[in-house]
Structure 1
Amino acid sequence: MQVFEVPEGMPRSVWENKYARKTDTGFQTWSERVTEVVEGNFLLDPRTRDDYEEEMRETMELARAGIMPFSGRHLQHGDLRQPDKIGEVFVNCSTAMFSFIEFWLLLKGSGVGRCYDSDLCRVNWDFMPNCRFVLSEKHPDYQEGIESLEEAVHKYDSESEDVRWFEVADSGEGWVKVVEILETASSQAKHQDKLYIFDFSKVRGAGEPIKGQQGRPASGPVPFMHSLGKVSTIKGAGMKPWKQAMFIDHYLSSCVAVGGIRRSARIAVKSWRDKDVIEFIDIKRVASPRAKLYSANNSIAVDAEFWAGALRPEPSHARRVYEAAVGAAYFDKTGEPGFLNVDLLTNNETGLDNITPDTYISAKMQKMLDLHPKTMELIEHTLRWAKKKRYKFIVNPCAEICISLMGGYCVIGDLCLANAENTQDCLNAARLMARFLMRVNLMPSLYASEVTRTNRIGVGLTGIHEFAYKQFGLTFLDILDEEKSLEFWSFIDEMRRAVEISAVDYAEEIGVAIPHTMTTIKPSGTVSKVMNCTEGAHLAALLWYIRWVQYPKGDSQVAAHKKRGYPVKDIDEQYSGHCAIGFPTRQPISDLMGDDVTIASAASPMEQYEWIRLLEKHWLGGRGCHNQVSYTLKYDPEVVSFVEFADMLLENQPTVKACAVMPSISKSAYVYVPEEKITKEYYESLAGNIDRYTNEAVGDALECDSGGCPIEFDINNR
């Protein structure tokens, strides 16, 4: 089996920036990195090495061939030290019911979903203590405008029972403790007139390395202090508790985006039955970008009863909610809020009685986070309400995983079908990926009881379009004809069954729960760029294009790239002191399929909805089975009228579990766009005159269309 080599250009750049670790001679190869990933994963296996030796050899071979690329979380963190790590750094997504837990999960790099139903948001932040956030004048990050520790000591009465001092520890857990203290205090009316002072002087300065995050530079205490300052403005703002929680989670996640760990990703969900759902719909309808709660994608949890009411023209709560939501999505040009069909999600409550206040957070994590007894009382109170909910499951930010709204995870790994030489390799990879992911669920984690209950995994697919053409001779339009593409869909069914059989057998062998969900399709943007294939379920957006990346005009790389023949564009008119360097790029599927390729803009919304329905039927096994397909469907608001948009959603959105529907916004007013469509001939003309670097800048190429995906920062600090 041929060993995969990361192609030059953007794939090599993404690989070396995000996943490959530095060596004495440069960077790890694909084979070297995945060897460590596989070896580390099998150290979690409770069987003896003799029992799993052959399985590990087969997994290693498929991983080195690029058929099992796993996911970015595994590629970044997998190694021989995996048994000593916590599960959170390997999971892609999670949910939370509390701000301090959501903040902790974001700091660990997880995308987080939260339900903001009025009955679940039990904390009234109007009861928050008065707060001061102080920093010693000797701290390297101290700046004017921050209250100094020295001044605070002189000013505030440390002997008073109404004044409490807290020293913030130099760790992620130390930061989370601040939020826990405030959230727990706000759940009790007796603290609202007290003064809490948080001293950040022990927190390391900006730029200092974080050992637990591959030496990434710390953000220092100031961004977090600024976020907490915004949190304190919620007190007395006249908001309902659910709205307070939305603002607070936004302020805290914005701090994660500033820090040196990772850009945060969130989804905010609210039931269509909630009396405040119209206010939820309108929460982003503000003119100022600064005022928008941009850190989360907002979705309304709906069901068959909602759609029945929305279809009827006479006035009803469902119809009002539908009209308000589609109006906001279309006229604000955001696609938000979306619709999430919670009644179609896999609803498996087996073992839910085992999720109690004592087990909700694992004993190990309770000790690590040093949770206060009053925090445990808050958890008990909220958990009691959560268990009364009609629908107890929501999704992660990209919507590909079904997770308990009380709190849970999913660990995901991709199969890159484009790299398979034959269908048997795909079946073997599907079987082995299920076991690979189940081993990760054996790691310690905050939600250990929920992980034990569900053993949830998500075996994903990417490079599907290349695979369909190479192995079955089918184009995208062919695939939509289920009769014509029967052999293809039968094979997808067979792969799903391979996952299911393998997971059941392995669960019985090692004595764990059969996974409640097993298959999914995630966006797979970053890993698919390394694989140089189409991403997840998505069609290629462009076949030949120029990636324009901004540089300061004085940057030495501008002259170096220009000398090698890269096009350079002056953008000083809109971006003062900057120019853009162009990197001609092609999708390899264009070489494979030629004129048979269908790009996203050429596929109608109806065709794309049918594609999702077929994937749900065959790869997910139908309604109520496994996870979801993450898909962003684009439409042109210059072509599609509001009435057409509303009718399209009403007809199609009830038929799929989830689908983000986003407008394609014209960028003609900009002096440059990150990705400029060009012809094949122009691409060949440009590329033929460039002495190309093996590692080319990425720029905005990793940005997610829906804004849902958390993107890892460069591990090599470049």
Structure 2
Amino acid sequence: MKKLISLPESFISQYKGKNPDWGFDGLGYVVYLRTYSRKKPNGTMEQWWETCHRVTEGNFNIEANRLKEIGKWTDNRKEELVKEMKRFYHLFFNLVICPPGRGLWMTGTEFAERVGAAENNCWFVSMRPQPYGDSKIKPVLGLPNTPLPSFAAAFTFDNSMLGGGVGVNVQQKNVEQMPKVARKVNITFECITHHPDYNSELKPLGVVSNFEFMNFDSPILSIKDSREGWVRALSLVIDSHFIGSSSNIVIDLSRIRARGTEIKGFGGIASGPAPLVQMLQRVNEILNNRVGEKLTSVDWGDIIQNIGCCVVAGNVRRTALILIGDQEGKDFVESKNYNLEKNQIASQWRWASNNSVDVSEETDLETLRELAKNIYYNGEPGYTNINLSRNYGRIADGYQEGIDKEVEGFNPCGEITLPNASPCNLFEINIPKIHELISSGKEPRTLCEEVCKLAARFAYRVTFRPYEWEATRDVVYHHRRLGVGITGFTDWLLMKFESIDDPGIRYYLDSMYRWVQIYNLEQAYELEAEPSIKVTTVKPSGTLSLLMGVSAGIHHHWSKYMIRRIRVAANAPIVQMLKECGYDHEPVYQGVDQNGNPIYDSNTLVFSFPIAAPTAHLEGFKGSGEVPLQEQAANQALLANYWSDNAVSATLTFKQEEGKEEDKIEEIAQILDQYKGVIKSTSLLPHAVGTYPQMPLEEITKEQYEEMSAKIKKKPWEITGFNLVSEDDENLIDDCEGGACPIR
């Protein structure tokens, strides 16, 4: 892609060396540095103004190139687009609007221009035989245009290695299309003995020396040191159980880079070949155990979960997975109940996914009671309503038969309704910030419409990226689905309205929705492409909301005042900066010894950030543990009715009370029943109670907050002279806890 437009240096110079109003007393800046700032060619890290510069120009040049492609690129259009760029940059820099985390990390990079998937957070695929078609990744066995059993697993593995989350539909209607397992397969893994990981990690897994092992009768796959190479190895292992004639395969690992090596494309540190070996061994065992039979929904789920384990093992990459099964599939519903003996071994990998069951408007209360019982004791399953998603946009707009008829599932956080092989395409609007700027007179009342326009246009440009999977290209270029989201919802309610029943809420949400729609149609017409089939959502927004300093998505703050703790390697460059600022820190707690004395690991430090909710001073503030389950569900339903035509991601929490289990189970069932024709997806978890050392979030008093804040001598961005390197600590934001998505 050619760079046809850029922001003038005279404009950018106004922002150099400056910072926005970072969220939560500077925590937002620390999160930005550790998660989204990229290393520049000179070895230093981007500052915020540079990230905004890279992302803005990267996105707007997509439109410029499209206009040139269709013969509409003129000097006048260039001038208009540069003007829009300046306004977008300003609002982006000041955290009024923001691309998704993947957009912050990848937009404007050479990798994103080659791999369109790099800018998409999450994906969905159905577990049934499908052809690879004209995709970059080709199957090892079988023809590209022949439906193959490995497709969904390969698709999941590929996009997970790009750092995306994947939803997988393992309902019986899909997995019953898979053939029976035809044969048992024996795999031999071989590697050169001077590979850095051979003696320490590979030999203990049974990997043999390729000098000692010679088998000229078995096909040998030498795995290329790339994402594609790993995916092809998985496809070979799966498909060899169904097609072909060989019962023995040899996989050579010699070309795979060692653990700790830098990954050049997407970024990160390599895990070495050991996690791949472990995953392929388990997948092979699952298939071998079903010779002469079809794999069940649980079996295919186990394969997907082992993929997730492989991706996160020893690597800075993160992924999130959701499995969608049948409400009547008892084995699936109970698959994460580790009190059952049949599930105990599988607990080693089943943690890697969240599980949901698909319900409908016809699901009876008794079935929902059974689901509620599992939810109360296990925190799963969540639920999805695929039929509702196919026939409704916003619920308030009524039944529209087949408006989104190809939907088969959701992304892992449940905010986007998705057809097979399609991605999320997200964007974020900070509605408390809009309210603040308009109320203070710093921006006109038209700001709300303007940000809806800018958000819709940014996200739509992403749909013109090149995608490596043919199935993805087919659906993206036809549907061009967007997910323009709002965050800080509960802060906004408290700032602007007296109650959730205020008609002004519905008016604002409806107006914003229609602006997003209108500007999407306008842009689609200009770019001579299909308008988006759906355009709005509410995502979890855990990390971006920390940057902005607002409540995450639809969720409430944990409490008025709290400590958020993050773990950092003791030798990380950022440690010096945080110490100089004055943040409390201590070695990570690891438990107690046999005498009851605490054990600490000085190789990892835990830093404590005192933070205050921006609405803590307002009457009516409620921490997340104070909000009744019914009120949480009503908020989700409100947004499903008037804002989101995709879905609303929400983790509804409830309190477990001894002696009141049946009452709470009944309450959960009644709420699921009440909203089964409104809420397209949701999950429910017990509200975390109790205390333990170094909790990620801990409620404190105002006095404690002020005392801790007084010790902080400088803000993080005021510290200079540190050559920070990019990090991605898995403990920065807990996996999906409180509705926060782990995907960068």
Band of TM-score, shorter chain: 0.7 to 0.9
Matched residues in 1 for 2:474 and 2:219: separation? 35
Does residue 1:486 correspond to 2:503, yes or no? Answer: yes
Moved more, 495-504 or 431-440: 431-440
1:634-661, CA deviations, whole angstroms, 9 ceiling, x for partnerless residues?
A: 1110268332233223322241222211
Does residue 1:577 correspond to 2:595, yes or no? Answer: no
Quickly say closer, same or farther: Cα 1:664–1:292, change in 2 above 3 A: farther
Matched residues in 2 for 1:588 and 1:603: separation? 16
Equivalent in the alignment of 1:370: none
Paired residues of 1:441 and 1:451 also in contact (CA < 8 A): yes
1:295-328, CA deviations, whole angstroms, 9 ceiling, x for partnerless residues?
A: 111111010111xxx23xxxxxxx3x44442222
Equivalent in the alignment of 2:462: 440
Shift of 1:37: 0.7
Moved more, 412-421 or 54-63: 54-63
1:121-140 → structure 2 map (5 Å cutoff): 121=175, 122-125=178-181, 127=183, 129-140=185-196
Equivalent in the alignment of 2:172: 118
1:3-152 → structure 2 map (5 Å cutoff): 4-6=20-22, 9-22=26-39, 27-45=45-63, 46-47=66-67, 48=73, 50-51=76-77, 52-79=81-108, 81=110, 84-97=113-126, 98-121=152-175, 122-125=178-181, 127=183, 129-143=185-199, 144-150=203-209, 152=210
Paired AA for residue 576 in structure 1: I
Paired residues of 2:567 and 2:732 also in contact (CA < 8 A): no
Paired AA for residue 327 in structure 1: K
Paired residues of 2:336 and 2:347 also in contact (CA < 8 A): no
Quickly say closer, same or farther: Cα 1:628–1:640, change in 2 above 3 A: farther
1:7-58, CA deviations, whole angstroms, 9 ceiling, x for partnerless residues?
A: 5532111110111234569543323211211111111111226323333333
Matched residues in 2 for 1:398 and 1:635: separation? 19
Paired AA for residue 340 in structure 1: T
Equivalent in the alignment of 1:357: none
Shift of 1:75: 0.4
Matched residues in 2 for 1:83 and 1:560: separation? 32
Equivalent in the alignment of 2:622: 598
Shift of 1:86: 1.8
Does residue 1:303 correspond to 2:320, yes or no? Answer: no
Shift of 1:710: 5.4
Paired AA for residue 48 in structure 2: W
Shift of 1:202: 0.6
Equivalent in the alignment of 1:541: 558
Paired residues of 2:179 and 2:294 also in contact (CA < 8 A): no
Paired residues of 1:281 and 1:324 also in contact (CA < 8 A): no
Quickly say closer, same or farther: Cα 1:559–1:44, change in 2 above 3 A: closer
Does residue 1:331 correspond to 2:377, yes or no? Answer: yes
Does residue 1:664 correspond to 2:687, yes or no? Answer: yes
1:297-696 → structure 2 map (5 Å cutoff): 297-306=354-363, 310-311=364-365, 319=366, 321-332=367-378, 335-347=379-391, 392-404=407-419, 406-420=420-434, 421-422=437-438, 423-445=445-467, 446=469, 447-470=472-495, 472=496, 474=497, 478-481=498-501, 485-549=502-566, 561=579, 564=582, 566=584, 568=586, 571=589, 573-574=591-592, 576-578=599-601, 581=606, 583-590=608-615, 593-620=617-644, 626-638=645-657, 641-654=660-673, 655=675, 656-668=679-691, 670-691=692-713, 694=716
Paired AA for residue 32 in structure 1: E
Shift of 1:549: 4.7
Moved more, 505-514 or 195-204: 505-514
Paired residues of 2:306 and 2:349 also in contact (CA < 8 A): no
1:264-316, CA deviations, whole angstroms, 9 ceiling, x for partnerless residues?
A: 2111001235xxx011111111145844511111111010111xxx23xxxxx
Q: Structure 2 residue aligned with 1:247, among 295, 302, 323?
A: 302
1:507-550, CA deviations, whole angstroms, 9 ceiling, x for partnerless residues?
A: 12212111111000000111111111111111111221223456
Give SS of 1:235's match.
helix
Matched residues in 2 for 1:199 and 1:251: separation? 20
1:321-362, CA deviations, whole angstroms, 9 ceiling, x for partnerless residues?
A: 444422222223xx201121222214499xxxxxxxxxxxxx
Shift of 1:690: 4.0
Quickly say closer, same or farther: Cα 1:433–1:295, change in 2 above 3 A: same
Paired residues of 1:299 and 1:338 also in contact (CA < 8 A): yes
Does residue 1:157 correspond to 2:218, yes or no? Answer: no
Which 5+ residue runs of structure 2 have no aligned equivalent? 1-13, 68-72, 127-151, 394-401, 439-444, 593-597, 720-726
RMSD value over aligned CA atoms?
A: 3.2
Paired AA for residue 107 in structure 2: G
Paired AA for residue 345 in structure 1: S
Shift of 1:633: 1.1
Shift of 1:562: 11
1:102-147, CA deviations, whole angstroms, 9 ceiling, x for partnerless residues?
A: 1111111221111112332215456352112222111011123244
Which 5+ residue runs of structure 1 have no aligned equivalent? 312-318, 350-386, 621-625, 714-718
Paired residues of 1:561 and 1:581 also in contact (CA < 8 A): no
Matched residues in 1 for 2:124 and 2:451: separation? 28
1:128-177, CA deviations, whole angstroms, 9 ceiling, x for partnerless residues?
A: 52112222111011123244553x5544431x2xx111100010000000
1:351-379, CA deviations, whole angstroms, 9 ceiling, x for partnerless residues?
A: xxxxxxxxxxxxxxxxxxxxxxxxxxxxx
Paired residues of 2:169 and 2:409 also in contact (CA < 8 A): yes
Equivalent in the alignment of 1:265: 320
Equivalent in the alignment of 1:373: none
Matched residues in 2 for 1:187 and 1:56: separation? 53
Paired AA for residue 341 in structure 1: N
Shift of 1:700: 3.7
Shift of 1:419: 2.4
Paired residues of 1:129 and 1:186 also in contact (CA < 8 A): yes
Matched residues in 2 for 1:141 and 1:708: separation? 37
Quickly say closer, same or farther: Cα 1:260–1:504, change in 2 above 3 A: same
Matched residues in 2 for 1:466 and 1:37: separation? 28
Equivalent in the alignment of 1:210: 263
Matched residues in 1 for 2:590 and 2:207: separation? 40
Overall identity of the aligned pairs, in %: 23
TM-score, normalised to structure 2, is: 0.79
Paired residues of 1:264 and 1:710 also in contact (CA < 8 A): no
Equivalent in the alignment of 2:271: 219
